[in-house]
A and B are shown apart, each in its own frame.
Chain A
Amino acid sequence: MAATQVNPTRMELTRQKKKLATARKGHKLLKDKRDELMRQFLDLVRENMALRQKVEAGIQAANKNFVVAKAGMSEETLHTALMAPKQEVYLETDKKNVMSVDIPVFEYKTRTADENDIYSYGFAFTSSDLDDAVKSLADVLPEMLRLAEAEKACQLMAAEIEKTRRRVNALEHVIIPQAQANIKYITMKLDENERSTQIRLMKVKDMMLEETHHYKEKQAAKAQ
């Protein structure tokens, strides 16, 4: 029995059939979308994990270097050294569409091309450990940006996959069976109506024949 009340009419039947066809098509498309998203997501998430491990190791190493650098000079000198950075990093952002998910693409530009501009201080009053520390951090920066790109993409794709999966499941387990049940209900009801009409007509025909020819009376007369 259908979960919702539907009118057992031909018009409703056509509508339900159309709905079923659309739902089937949508289901197939969404399933394909989900599968493709999943394939790309798995590749991306592996890359994301690898990048993250690399970046975390890199930053930790850099942090150690900074601690060493800090130990070798006074805090004031350190702060002053890093107070006015020479270099600046800008991001050019773009969007890439992967299976209807917008994922960001970052491209970074530095204000000056000289890679030695990361040392924003004179070398006279700072320890060489600071140079190493800054260098080690600069080395992880490109990977950090890749990480940002990959991780954001993973988050967005994961959300989209979840949504798509829900839609696929809703179509597969709710909408399609419901439409099928409705169609079955309507066809049964229509068939039933047709049968009852037919029987009624047969009965009426019998009655009309009886009225004109009086078979029963004749038969009774013959028997006597």
Chain B
Amino acid sequence: MYKIAVMGAYDSIYGFAALGLDTFPVSDIQEGEKLLRRIAEGDYAVIYITEALAADLKHEISRYQEQVIPAIIQIPGVSGNTGAGITGVKKSVEQAVGSDILFGGD
């Protein structure tokens, strides 16, 4: 039985606690790296991470890209949408097709 984790700045994620997801507030990057590693190796199948934090933990996140579990998914934080999530989708199109033929115009 797996659980769902949410990582990010406290202000961006405290609401998810009410829904029953496990929230992990992160304030500095190094602590975040360690935390992500611990969560990814724990019983979490899905890890939602705010775009702002994900930008700092790119290296750690890419390690789990090829594994089926956990799925690390970027979500916008309270400070707004950086577009990193959309860029991620475009990137996978680019990886598969060679160039972004679907969403290039957006």
**A41 and B45 form a contact (CB under 8 A):** no
* Shortest distance from the beta carbon of A67 to any chain B beta carbon, whole Å: 7
Q: In this complex, what residue of A is CB-closest to B72?
A: A152
| Chain-A contact segment, one of B34-42, B52-60, B92-100 | B92-100
* Complex CA distance for A110 and B21, rounded to whole angstroms: 10
Interface residues on chain A, number (Cβ under 8 Å): 62
**A154 and B20 form a contact (CB under 8 A):** no
Q: Please judge, given known A-B contacts A52-B89, A93-B2, A158-B95, whether A134 and B78 are in contact too, CB under 8 Å.
A: no
Q: In this complex, what residue of A is CB-closest to B51?
A: A56
Q: Which of B19, B71, B95 contacts A151 (CB 8 A)?
A: B71
Query: Which A69-86 residues sit within 8 Å CB-CB of chain B?
Result: 78-79, 82-83, 85-86
**B92 and A45 form a contact (CB under 8 A):** yes
**A148 and B46 form a contact (CB under 8 A):** yes
Interface residues of B toward A: which range? Answer: 35 or more
Inside 8 A of B71's CB, which chain A residues have their CB? 104, 148-149, 151-152
Q: In this complex, what residue of B is CB-closest to A46?
A: B102
Interface presence of A21 (CB below 8 A) = no
Q: Which of A90, A154, A157, A159 contacts B2 (CB 8 A)?
A: A90
Interface presence of B26 (CB below 8 A) = no
* Shortest distance from the beta carbon of A111 to any chain B beta carbon, whole Å: 7
Inside 8 A of B66's CB, which chain A residues have their CB? 156, 159
* Complex CA distance for A56 and B17, rounded to whole angstroms: 18
Query: Which A19-57 residues sit within 8 Å CB-CB of chain B?
Result: 38, 41-42, 45-46, 48-49, 52-53, 55-56
Residues of chain B touching chain A, judged by Cβ–Cβ distance below 8 Å, are 1-4, 12, 14-21, 45-46, 48, 65-66, 68-69, 71, 73, 75-78, 80-81, 85-86, 88-89, 92-93, 95-98, 102-103
Beyond A145-B4, A147-B73: 14 further Cβ-contacts under 8 Å?
A63-B15, A63-B77, A78-B14, A82-B17, A87-B18, A90-B2, A148-B71, A152-B68, A152-B71, A155-B92, A157-B96, A158-B92, A158-B93, A159-B95
A-B contact pairs, 29 of them (CB 8 A): A42-B102, A46-B102, A49-B89, A55-B75, A56-B86, A60-B80, A63-B15, A63-B78, A67-B78, A85-B17, A85-B18, A85-B19, A88-B3, A89-B19, A91-B4, A91-B45, A92-B2, A93-B69, A118-B18, A120-B18, A144-B48, A145-B4, A145-B46, A149-B71, A151-B88, A151-B89, A156-B68, A161-B95, A162-B96
